[in-house]
Structure formats: C-alpha cells, structure tokens
Amino acid sequence: MSTSSARAWVEIDLPAIDRNVGRIKQALPPQVRYVAVVKANAYGHGMPEVATRLLQAGVDCFAVANVAEAAILREVGHDADILLLSPTLPNELARAVALGLDITLNSVAEAQALAALVRGRDRRAKVHVKVDTGMGRAGVWHEQAAELFAFVLAEPGLEWRGVYTHFSDADHDQAFTAEQRATFLRLLETIPASVRAGLLIHADNSAGLESFSSAAPFNAVRVGLMQYGLPPSAGSFLASLRPEPVLSFHARVVLVKDLPAGTAVSYNRTKVLSRPTRVAIVAVGYGDGVPTAASNRGHFLVRGVRCPILGRVTMDQTIVDVTDVPAVAVGDVVTILGAQGGDRITVAEFCAWSDCIPWEALCTLTQRVQRVYRTDRT
C-alpha cells in the first residue's frame, strides 16, 4: 500500500515480527507455550494482519480482551486457541462457547451461569480460572479461589484448561511480585496433581527467572509488547533479548511559514516565540495519537533533524520549529516515532514527554491513521 497520498500513517514491519517471535521462542524453555496477546487491535498494529503473521511465525495461541475481538481473530486464526482475558458479560457467553473460546472465570457466579448455559448440550465450555493475588482487578480473590476451583472440578460441562494470575508491579516491586507468586503457587498445590498436569499455568510477562525454573509449574507466557519490538523490563526472564522495532509513525508537512518574534503559538498562547521562527504545520494531532501532554515538550524528526513542538498539540495539526532545518517543504515526511536520517525517536522517549506508558502510546493511534504493512517485498 502506497503512502504517497497519506497525511498520517504508521508502517508495520511484518518481517520484524517474525524475527522477534523467533528470538522469544528460542529463549523460552521447550515446555513453555507462547501466548500472543493481540487485544486492542494488536496494540494498535492491526489485528488481522499481525495475527496472521504471528501464526506463520509459530505462536501457540492467542489472548484477547473480549468476545468481539475474538470473533475477528477467529476469522484469521481458524482453530487456534483464543483466551478471553476480561470478564465475559452474561449475554456474550453463548457466542463465546459457539466460537470455541477459552473463557476466563472470575467468580463462582460466572461459573454457575456458564455451567447452566451448557448443561444438557453436547459441547463443553472451555475455561481458565483467573486468581487475583493482589492487583484488585479481574480474577477471583485468592481467599475465595478454592471454592471456584471446587466448582469447576465438579461441573461436567466445564473443561478446565488453565489457571493464571497477573502481577501488578513486576517491573518495579520485586518483593510484592514475590508475594503474589507465592500466593499463586500455594493455591496451585490445592489443585489435584492429575488435573494440574493438564492445565496451562501462566502469570504475567515472564517476570523473574524463577517463573521458568525447572521446579516451577509455569508452562506458558503471555507475550505482548516484546513481540511488537519493545524491550522487556530489566528484571524480565527475557531481558537479554533485543527485539526489533515493528511500528513507525509518520505524517506530512502541510504548510511552512515564517513568524515574527513575540508571536504566541497555538491554543492558549502557551508558547511565545523568542526569535523570528520558521514553522512547519504537520498533519497530525491528538485526533491521530499525539497526546496534548507532548505540547512544548516533544520533538518530531524533519529531514533527519529533531524539531521541537511549539505550543499546544491540536486535534489535527501540530506546529514544529524548523528554523534550523534547510529547505523544509510542503509534503516532506515527518517522523513521530521511529528512525529518520541518523536519528530515532523511541517509544520510551515519546512516552516520557507524553506522560503515558508504551501500551497507551500504541493503543491510542486512531483509525484515521493509515496502516501500511511492509514485507520483504515492499
């Protein structure tokens, strides 16, 4: 797909996904299954295209947020296992069962509703049990987990396929993560060994070497950011890997003009020019995925040079200072994320001046930003 007529677009390097998946799979112990997380439109990259590539690269199964996402993925993944990570609404259960999804159970009430739905049918419902070990979000609170375990074990209409938890601060609080892990491991011991042996057991993002020690029961890892090219945290089991960036974000200059010193630029007059300034108006704004927090803080690359954002980022346009960049012209490509010339703006930098986290930076790229998929031939 050509970008010649695009005002703002992201480029997705599909071969880079192949290489990232290959590195991750090579680093994981052979018994550990690769669960590719593709929720939120594959973190803004485009679910159908990315999921197809992930399947070709050899991931074992997928995880999404909800039934609607899973239905899209089912068209791509055919018979691939798909785990629903979020609680499922009562009116979504029938469709989830019909699509053959792995449904996460977060309470006895959810389990009872699902069991009643499939009772007397030929098809069992596939389920994972999520345990809340201290995050306070989804999952059965760990003190009530035994009751849910017992119900699932006793209910013939439920096929128990996995159990998992989610670490709330694995990147920063190792002590609390260890507490969460210990709580989860204690609960696993209450599951009959014959049942536990057949379960997919997973925690967060492979945080900590002990997750995959020979004595640990974990046999799956949920991979999100890393397959899209963002490095894992320093404490991660996979910290030594260097994934390749997959996504870059670009727009075009739509106007170049000269403004006198003393001009107040953009809404609310938050930037007053201290010198005569040549500015470029770039066809990208918060309506595309550049947060207003980047106002007067961020930079774009224009002709390989970092150019500061002047004033407020607006819905459709952002103003940058190109005084020191020769011959900037309408139609020039501007890079918001990624490499241009000899420089690169990383997701980490973008997040630092945008007051956001990497997941947010990628997921908030809006639908009007064209997705362009690069292969070895394009």
**What amino acid positions are annotated as catalytic residues?**
39, 267
Q: Are 277 and 248 in contact (CB under 8 A)?
A: no
CA 27 to chain centre: 20
Per-position b or e across 39-75, b if 16+ CB within 10 A of its CB: bbbbbbbbbebbbebbeebebebbbbebbebbbebbe
- Nearest CA to 265 among 256, 257, 273? 273
Judge whether 155 and 111 are in contact, CB under 8 Å: yes
Tokens representing 255 are 């106007």
**Residue for token digits 């609080």?**
173
CB proximity list for 28: less than 8 A, separation 6 or greater: 34, 206, 212, 221
Crossing angle of the two packed helices 47-57 and 67-77, in degrees rounded to 10: 50
What residues pair up with 255 in beta bridges, in sequence order?
281
Half-sphere exposure (Cβ direction) of 216: Cα atoms closer than 13 Å: 22
Alpha helices by DSSP H, listed for 251-346, are none
- Encoded amino acid at 1, one letter: M
Q: Would you call 227 helix, strand, or coil by DSSP?
A: helix
Instruction: Please report, for residues 56, 131, 180, 186, 195, the alpha-carbon distance to residue 145 in angstroms, rounded to integers and kept in the order given.
Output: 37, 7, 14, 11, 16
Measured over all CA atoms, what is the biggest interatomic distance in the chain, rounded to whole angstroms?
Answer: 78
Dist. CA 8–CA 285, nearest whole Å: 10
